[in-house]
Amino acid sequence: MSVNLKKPALVQLIGDLIAEELTRLRPAESNEWRRRRWLPTDELVPQSKATGEATGKTTDSAGNEIVIDSLEWMAIAGRVVQFFQMEESGIEDYLLRKNRLDEWSEIVQKARDIASNNITVTTSGSTGQPKPCRHPWAQLTGEADYFAELISTQNTSVQRVITLVPSHHIYGLLFSVLLPDILDVPVIRGFSAFQQVTGGSLQPGDLVIGFPEALTQATKLLSHIPNEVTFTTSSGPCPAETINALYEAGASRVIEIYGSSETAGIGYRFSPEQPFLLLPRWQQESINTLQEKHTQQSYELPDKLNWLSDKSFIVSERVDSAVVIKGTNVYPSRVMTLIESHPAVSAAAVRQKKPAEGKGLKAFVVLKNHSEKITEADLKHWLSEHLLDIEVPTHITFGDAIPANEIGKQQDWSL
């Protein structure tokens, strides 16, 4: 089925890209941007031309104004150009001449008509710097078509899509933009979607697009799910108890999707006790690689898989890449595991510092008890007894929760 992005979808995608950039540039306002409902009349306005209070934030008194400075404008426009691959159209500079999101959507649509309609998403950066991942439009729509057909064979008639994920991630694009378009059903987003899921307002025919953390929270609030409500989850391993709890509450189907930003979907299953089934566009090439059947292109698997047949597998081990520090391979996952074995530590994340932060590793640590007296120096000393000097994080940040993005994937933090 041919799928073209309509104006409402383009406005939503552009809005979510704006939210991503402003969250990155203004971390203290992240909740404001993630919760925002994007409208075609929303307008990017330089601070000097704002009609509301010139605070640099969204102002209710200024209607739909999003007050930004020139550097933020360039960053936002650059992210939109990258996502829609507009550099091939020659008209990307028009984004700097227009203000409203509906005007931007028209420019994006024109660029897609002139040149590429392919898409570039970025990784979450959970194991390093976010990197761009280019996806042919035909492959994206083909995958959405496949899942639309799969859902229709599960005796489920979808009437609404209720999405808890933003549209600009690969999972959100496939399941909250392309799939609803194919099914020709409305989409409920943002806080309204969360209220529908947790407030007892689900209806027969709802398709809930979730992720592990959100669904785990939802199961604590849900007592009953109406008939013919389907859930999907992706972006990371979903606890088996969460999926089982959804079934016990009445879910018709829970579709667990395995994939990555680089590959899009790889496989799916309906139960934690089942293996994943390989999507038809893939074939196993080697123990560590997949091959896309149509293009013959090879992709490195994001994790170690245990193949049960040429069409089914289980995920046997998550893979974290080594980073090179002073010429030596260092594995952040090994350091993280050791930190989490400390009696006072509840959770930890470890990653290589960005160039501007210096050299070596940095760690983010959540303690089991806020009254713990362990200090950065204490933890470094303890780690030095178990690790090489280059493996000991040079900077340790303590906090209440591991930094994560809007779909629960770990993300970077500032020193």
Cα 64 to chain center, whole Å? 26
Lowest mean pLDDT: which of 55-59, 146-150, 241-245, 258-262?
55-59
pLDDT over 80 (residue 333): yes
pLDDT over 80 (residue 240): yes
Residues 6+ apart with CB under 8 A from 272: 238, 240, 243, 244, 256
Question: What's the pLDDT score for residue 91?
Answer: 95
Question: What's the pLDDT score for residue 253?
Answer: 95
> How far apart, in whole angstroms, are the C-alpha atoms of residue 85 and residue 151?
31
* CB-based contact 52:65 (threshold 8 Å): yes
> How far apart, in whole angstroms, are the C-alpha atoms of residue 227 and residue 55?
48
Q: What is the mean pLDDT of residues 376-396?
A: 91
Q: What is the mean pLDDT of residues 130-158?
A: 91
* CB-based contact 236:211 (threshold 8 Å): yes
Question: What's the pLDDT score for residue 2?
Answer: 63
What 3-state DSSP class applies to 163?
A: strand
Rg, Å, the chain Cα set: 22
> How far apart, in whole angstroms, are the C-alpha atoms of residue 168 and residue 177?
9
Q: Are strands 328-330 and 323-325 parallel, antiparallel or unpaired?
A: antiparallel
Q: What are the tens digits of pLDDT across the range 345-358?
A: 999 999 888 878 88
> How far apart, in whole angstroms, are the C-alpha atoms of residue 315 and residue 302?
10
Q: Are strands 361-367 and 395-398 parallel, antiparallel or unpaired?
A: parallel
For residue 148, CA distances in Å to 135, 139, 142, 179, 244 come to 19, 14, 10, 6, 23
Question: What's the pLDDT score for residue 54?
Answer: 40
Q: What is the mean pLDDT of residues 64-87?
A: 94
Q: Which amino acid, 128?
A: G
pTM here is: 0.81
> How far apart, in whole angstroms, are the C-alpha atoms of residue 349 and residue 411?
9
| H or E element at residue 208 | strand 206-210
Segments of 310-367 assigned E as strands = 312-318, 323-325, 328-330, 345-352, 361-367
Tokens coding 90: 């020659």
Query: Percentage of the chain with pLDDT > 70?
Result: 93
pLDDT over 80 (residue 322): no
Burial class of residue 414 (count of CB atoms within 10 Å of its CB; 0-12, 13-18, 19+): exposed
Place 323 in a pLDDT band, splitting at 50, 70 and 90: confident
Q: What is the mean pLDDT of residues 146-151?
A: 95
For residue 112, CA distances in Å to 88, 89, 95, 119 come to 9, 8, 14, 10
Provide the b/e sequence for 223-255 (b: ≥16 CB within 10 Å).
eebbebbbbbbbbbebeeebbbbbeebebbbbb
pLDDT over 50 (residue 314): yes
Q: What is the mean pLDDT of residues 9-13?
A: 96
> How far apart, in whole angstroms, are the C-alpha atoms of residue 296 and residue 205?
38
Average pLDDT value over all residues in the chain: 88
> How far apart, in whole angstroms, are the C-alpha atoms of residue 3 and residue 5?
7
Higher pLDDT, 204 or 413: 204
pLDDT over 80 (residue 107): yes
What 3-state DSSP class applies to 134?
A: strand
Residues 6+ apart with CB under 8 A from 97: none
Lowest mean pLDDT: which of 78-87, 229-238, 325-334, 391-400?
325-334
Place 1 in a pLDDT band, splitting at 50, 70 and 90: low
Tokens coding 256: 């667990």
Lowest mean pLDDT: which of 11-15, 327-331, 377-381?
327-331
Residues 6+ apart with CB under 8 A from 270: 253, 254, 255, 256
> How far apart, in whole angstroms, are the C-alpha atoms of residue 292 and residue 315?
19
Tokens coding 24: 């990155």
Q: Which amino acid, 112?
A: R
Tokens coding 353: 């510092």
First to last CA, the chain: 48
Question: What's the pLDDT score for residue 60?
Answer: 41
pLDDT over 80 (residue 312): yes
Question: What's the pLDDT score for residue 371?
Answer: 63
Q: Which amino acid, 54?
A: A
> How far apart, in whole angstroms, are the C-alpha atoms of residue 95 and residue 104?
6
Question: What's the pLDDT score for residue 53?
Answer: 46
Tokens coding 65: 């104004």
Higher pLDDT, 238 or 27: 238
Tokens coding 212: 């592990």
| H or E element at residue 306 | strand 303-309
Q: What are the tens digits of pLDDT across the range 35-68?
A: 888 999 999 998 877 776 444 444 444 468 899 9
pLDDT over 70 (residue 246): yes
